[in-house]
Amino acid sequence: MPLSSGHTNAVATLTVRVADRRHSPVDLATIRTITIAGTCPRCGGPRGEPYPYNFYDDGAWLVADCWDNPCGHVDLYNAVLAEAERGPRT
Ligand SMILES: [Zn+2]
C-alpha cells in the first residue's frame, strides 16, 4: 500500500522526535519518535518541515524535532503526543 501519492503539497504524515515530559515526576524529557498527520489539526493546513533541535536536559544533550507551521498554529509536544496515541485522523 503506498504511503502517499507524493504529488501533493501536504505530506500524509510526519515522523518526528519529541520530548515527552508527561510521565516524569521531575520533568525529565524522554525522546519519543512518533508519527503524526502532516497537517495542522486546527486548520488543516500543512505542517512545517521538521528540523532538529538540541537541548540540554539534566546532564545529557538530547535531540528533538521542531517545526514551524506556515499557518501560525503552534503544535505543543503534549498535543502531538496525544495525537500520535489517538492514531491517524480519518
Ligand atoms: Zn493551522
9 CA from centroid of ligand 1 (Å): 15
Say if residues 28 and 57 touch (Cβ distance below 8 Å). Answer: yes
Domain that residue 79 falls in: 13-86
pLDDT, position 9? 57
Asked, for residue 58, whether it belongs to a domain, the answer is yes
pLDDT, position 87? 80
Give the chain's largest Cα–Cα span: 45
Asked, for residue 5, whether it belongs to a domain, the answer is no
The residues, ordered by sequence, that sit 6+ positions from 8 with a Cβ below 8 Å of its Cβ are none
Say if residues 18 and 57 touch (Cβ distance below 8 Å). Answer: no
Asked, for residue 1, whether it belongs to a domain, the answer is no
Asked, for residue 2, whether it belongs to a domain, the answer is no
Could you tell me the three cell numbers for 43?
Answer: 486548520
Domain count for the chain: 1
Which of 3-12, 55-64, 78-87 is the least confident region?
Answer: 3-12
pLDDT in tens, 30-60: 999 999 999 999 999 999 999 999 999 989 9
29 CA from centroid of ligand 1 (Å): 26
Other beta carbons less than 10 A from residue 8's beta carbon: 10
Question: In which band, very low, low, confident or very high, does the pLDDT at 3 lie, cut at 50, 70 and 90?
Answer: low
28 CA from centroid of ligand 1 (Å): 29
CA distance 46 to 37: 9
55 CA from centroid of ligand 1 (Å): 26
Q: Compare 76 and 6 and report the one with higher pLDDT.
A: 76
